[in-house]
């Protein structure tokens, strides 16, 4: 206990880490449910439907299945590296979440003043890129250590792809860094406050549209998602780098991929979509927008209750009704004047992240897979030059604006 | 013992262990992995000194880019385990005396300057990135640009050589 008395921040950080881990792993599990549902409906199917109402308990069933399956270790595998790789992939992906701020500066929860981020890192953006840069090892080592030609080819492919797209990923955000003048995620969001012409939010999405498109394309490739999911092209490579992994090690790669999706979406929100800032003005005639979280939650509550009445299975009705009541309670809690300033930031932040995640799934359900050489050519010959040009033009504009304001004595 | 000193000891121990494992490992991939451990531990040491930017760049460039290429090449060539051979005569007569000499010399330097070194202090203010940029782009802009041109020439050279092969 003396350690916590000497460093009270340590205890707060531990509690926050625990909460974030729980939320993140739950979100990742339900992201897989969400993806299967959306892709299912895109392809005129229902998606998971059997386990729980609307397949809501499917992630739980999948998790249990992974836990109880036998882990098969391939013959001739490098044991240390083989077991290290999934651990590396998941722990790196999860530690990236630690530096993401989910809401504005200081809040007070249960009498403890704290921030809505596990760690306030000065160079948060660089830290995230360092994490992404190390993320390649999980994939490359898994492919190599499995002692299988399919896994090795998959590992080689995906490391080549990740290295290539990492460059355009990093270059595409240089424009944002130049405009904000900081690597700090909070300062980057602060630089996007306010509105053009009183209504258009000053998000970097508008001046950096090219940067955003480059970023999101590279992010899809960096997370090995369709249409850039060459590393796990089933028709060619069985399952790519994780061919030889079963049971929970496979689940770890799976979770790492989904966590990476969440992180890149969070980063896109922070860098281009104004982070936790509301897209609508919050003053004057727009003051009612602070009750939007309540409206959304109540809407969900009503939908679930109606669905509970219509559902054909008895116990599923109970589950749906319970969820509806929970949402209703949340809607009521969020409307309380003591709580509702607290939830504004996270509400908008999570809404934007959710929209981006939907785009991820949408793209997967819509576009066919790239051919490998096309993929590399696209990365090096299109994305990289465009991202570089975007950075150069932004640098020029920032320089001209600064020298102009310097000459005008505005500084 | 302060938290900073404790972290320093842990990171330094990890770096040294990584370096020893780098030399002793028989498989090239294991050696490359050890080198990555050393680099990440060094980044942690930079962080303790308040050099956030250098630490981040250390991980991004060395651990993230250069070492990935190392690992990539080792995987691509599918290099197997090395075989142990008896020491070469060169190592016997020149290597060992040189190693002993260097160890003594470094120990002497460290002992000599120990009072001036001091313990790592709490991380400095966040201005370090700005200061670094100022140094690089104002005071040492000529050497910086010359290095950039040198690297560009090296890249072009690699491309030319790579083309000639095929």
The pLDDT value recorded for residue A231 is 63
The pLDDT value recorded for residue A113 is 67
Could you tell me which of B68, B25, B30, B63 has the C-alpha nearest to residue B44? B63
A365's CB contacts (< 8 A; 6+ apart) are A38, A39, A42, A43
Could you tell me which of A98, A115, A87 has the C-alpha nearest to residue A20? A98
Chain B: residue whose CA lies nearest to A125: B56
Q: Closest partner residue to A127 among B40, B56, B64, by Cβ?
A: B56
Q: pLDDT: is B85 or B52 the higher one?
A: B52
How far does the CA of residue B75 sit from the closest CA of chain A (Å)? 7
Q: pLDDT: is B50 or A3 the higher one?
A: B50
Contact list, A140 vs chain B (CB under 8 Å)? 68, 71-72, 75
Strands A112-115 and A195-196, sheet pairing: unpaired
Classify each residue of B15-37 as buried b or exposed e, where b means 16 or more C-beta atoms within 10 Å of its C-beta.
Answer: beebeebbeebeebbbbbbbbbb
Q: How many residues does chain A have?
A: 411
Residues 32-61 of B with CB under 8 A from A: 33, 36, 40, 43, 52-53, 56-57, 59-60
At B165, the pLDDT band (50, 70, 90 cuts) reads low
Could you tell me which of A118, A172, A122, A139 has the C-alpha nearest to residue A260? A139
Contact list, A159 vs chain B (CB under 8 Å)? 68, 71-72, 75
The pLDDT value recorded for residue B118 is 61
User: What pLDDT tens digit does each residue of chain A (411 aa) get?
Assistant: 566 666 667 777 788 888 888 888 888 888 888 888 888 888 888 878 777 777 788 888 888 888 888 877 777 777 788 888 888 888 888 888 888 888 776 666 666 667 777 777 778 888 888 888 888 888 888 888 887 778 888 888 888 888 888 888 888 888 888 888 888 888 888 888 877 776 777 888 878 888 889 899 888 888 877 777 766 666 666 667 777 777 788 888 888 888 888 999 998 988 888 878 777 776 667 777 777 778 888 888 888 888 877 777 777 787 788 888 888 888 888 777 777 777 778 888 888 899 999 998 898 888 888 777 888 888 888 889 999 999 899 888 888 887 776 555 443
- The model's pLDDT over B102-117, given as tens digits with 9 standing for 90+, comes to 999 988 888 887 766 6
- The model's pLDDT over B53-93, given as tens digits with 9 standing for 90+, comes to 888 888 888 888 888 888 888 888 877 777 777 777 777 78
What A397-402 contacts at long range (C-beta under 8 Å, 24+ apart), as own/partner pairs, is A398/A178, A398/A179
Chain B: residue whose CA lies nearest to A165: B65
A126–B52: do the CB atoms touch at under 8 Å?
yes
Chain A: residue whose CA lies nearest to B71: A140
Is any Cβ of chain B less than 8 angstroms from the Cβ of A398?
Answer: no
**Structure letter (DSSP) for residue A121:** -
Chain B: residue whose CA lies nearest to A84: B33
The pLDDT value recorded for residue A85 is 86
**Structure letter (DSSP) for residue A194:** S
Is any Cβ of chain A less than 8 angstroms from the Cβ of B132?
Answer: no
The pLDDT value recorded for residue B125 is 53
Hey, is B71 helix, strand or coil? helix
Size of interface A-B (CB pairs under 8 A): 76
The pLDDT value recorded for residue B38 is 92
In DSSP terms, which residues pair with A107 in a beta bridge? A114
- Asked if residues A297 and A331 have their Cβ atoms less than 8 Å apart, the reply is yes
The pLDDT value recorded for residue A4 is 62
At B19, the pLDDT band (50, 70, 90 cuts) reads very high
Contact list, B52 vs chain A (CB under 8 Å)? 121-123, 126
At what angle are helices B28-48 and B3-24 packed, to 10 degrees?
Answer: 160
With tokens 């890192």, the residue in question is A121
Could you tell me which of A47, A145, A41 has the C-alpha nearest to residue A88? A145
Could you tell me which of A255, A240, A247, A228 has the C-alpha nearest to residue A376? A228
A152–B75: do the CB atoms touch at under 8 Å?
yes
Chain A: residue whose CA lies nearest to B36: A134
Contact list, A80 vs chain B (CB under 8 Å)? 30
- The model's pLDDT over B26-40, given as tens digits with 9 standing for 90+, comes to 888 888 889 999 999
The pLDDT value recorded for residue A409 is 45
The pLDDT value recorded for residue B126 is 57
- Cα dihedral across residues A400, A401, A406, A409: positive or negative: positive
- Omega of the bond prior to A390 within 30 degrees of 0, cis? no
How far does the CA of residue B142 sit from the closest CA of chain A (Å)? 20
Classify each residue of A298-334 as buried b or exposed e, where b means 16 or more C-beta atoms within 10 Å of its C-beta.
Answer: bebbeebbebbeebeeeebbebbbebbeebbebbeeb
Could you tell me which of B122, B118, B116, B139 has the C-alpha nearest to residue B52? B122
The pLDDT value recorded for residue B80 is 73
The pLDDT value recorded for residue A3 is 62
Distance separating alpha carbons of residues A107 and A127, to the nearest angstrom: 24
Is any Cβ of chain A less than 8 angstroms from the Cβ of B63?
Answer: yes
The pLDDT value recorded for residue B15 is 93
How far does the CA of residue B57 sit from the closest CA of chain A (Å)? 8
Tell which of B72, B74, B77 to mutate to test the A interface (max A CBs under 10 Å): B72
Residue A200 backbone dihedrals phi, psi, to 5 degrees: -85, 120
Could you tell me which of A132, A159, A168, A222 has the C-alpha nearest to residue B71? A159
Distance separating alpha carbons of residues A395 and B141, to the nearest angstrom: 18
A130–B53: do the CB atoms touch at under 8 Å?
no
């Amino acid at each position: 206990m003396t350690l916590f008395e000497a460093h009270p921040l340590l205890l707060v950080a531990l509690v926050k880490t625990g909460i974030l881990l729980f939320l993140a792993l739950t979100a990742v599990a339900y992201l897989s449910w969400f993806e299967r549902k959306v892709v299912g409906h895109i392809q005129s199917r229902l998606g998971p439907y059997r386990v729980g109402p609307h397949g809501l308990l499917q992630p739980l069933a999948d998790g249990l299945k992974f836990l109880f399956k036998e882990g098969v270790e391939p013959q001739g595998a490098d044991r240390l590296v083989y077991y290290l790789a999934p651990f590396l992939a998941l722990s790196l992906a999860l530690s990236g979440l630690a530096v993401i701020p989910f809401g504005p500066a200081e809040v007070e929860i249960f009498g403890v003043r704290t921030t809505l981020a596990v760690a306030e890192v000065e160079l948060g953006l660089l830290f995230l890129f360092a994490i992404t840069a190390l993320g390649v090892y999980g994939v490359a080592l898994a492919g190599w250590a499995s002692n299988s030609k399919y896994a090795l080819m998959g590992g080689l492919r995906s490391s080549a792809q990740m290295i290539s797209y990492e460059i355009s990923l990093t270059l595409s955000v240089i424009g944002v860094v130049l405009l904000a003048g900081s690597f700090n995620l909070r300062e980057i969001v602060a630089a996007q406050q306010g509105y053009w012409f009183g209504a258009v939010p000053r998000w970097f999405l508008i001046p950096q549209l090219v940067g955003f498109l480059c970023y999101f394309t590279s992010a899809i490739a960096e997370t090995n998602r369709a249409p850039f999911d060459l590393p796990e092209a089933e028709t060619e490579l069985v399952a790519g780098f994780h061919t030889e992994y079963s049971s929970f090690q496979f689940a770890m790669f799976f979770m790492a991929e989904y966590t990476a999706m969440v992180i890149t979406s969070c980063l896109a929100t922070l860098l281009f979509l104004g982070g936790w800032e509301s897209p609508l003005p919050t003053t004057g005639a727009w003051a009612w927008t602070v009750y939007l979280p309540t409206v959304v939650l109540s809407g969900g509550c009503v939908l679930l209750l109606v669905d509970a009445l219509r559902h054909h299975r008895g116990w599923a009705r109970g589950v749906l009704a319970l969820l509806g009541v929970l949402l209703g309670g949340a809607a009521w809690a969020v409307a309380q004047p003591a709580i509702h300033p607290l939830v504004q930031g996270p509400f908008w932040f999570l809404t934007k992240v959710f929209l981006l995640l939907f785009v991820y799934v949408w793209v997967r359900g819509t576009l066919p897979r790239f051919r490998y050489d096309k993929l590399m050519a696209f990365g090096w010959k299109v994305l990289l030059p465009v991202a570089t040009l975007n950075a150069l033009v932004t640098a020029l504009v920032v320089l001209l604006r600064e020298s102009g304001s310097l000459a005008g004595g505005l500084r | 013992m302060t938290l900073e000193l404790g972290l320093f000891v842990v990171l330094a121990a990890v770096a040294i262990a990584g370096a020893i494992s780098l030399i002793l490992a028989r498989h090239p991939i294991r050696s490359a992995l050890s080198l990555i451990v050393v680099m990440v531990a060094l980044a942690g040491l930079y962080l303790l000194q308040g050099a956030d930017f250098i630490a981040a760049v250390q991980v991004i460039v060395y651990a993230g880019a250069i070492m990935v290429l190392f690992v990539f090449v080792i995987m691509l060539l599918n290099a197997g385990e090395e075989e142990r051979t008896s020491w070469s005569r060169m190592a016997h007569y020149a290597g060992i005396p040189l190693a002993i000499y260097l160890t003594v010399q470094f120990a002497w330097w460290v002992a000599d300057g120990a009072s001036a070194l001091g313990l790592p202090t709490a991380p400095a203010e966040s201005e370090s990135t700005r200061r670094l940029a100022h140094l690089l782009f104002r005071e040492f802009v000529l050497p910086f640009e010359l290095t950039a041109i040198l690297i560009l020439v090296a890249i072009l050279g690699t491309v030319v050589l790579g083309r000639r092969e095929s």
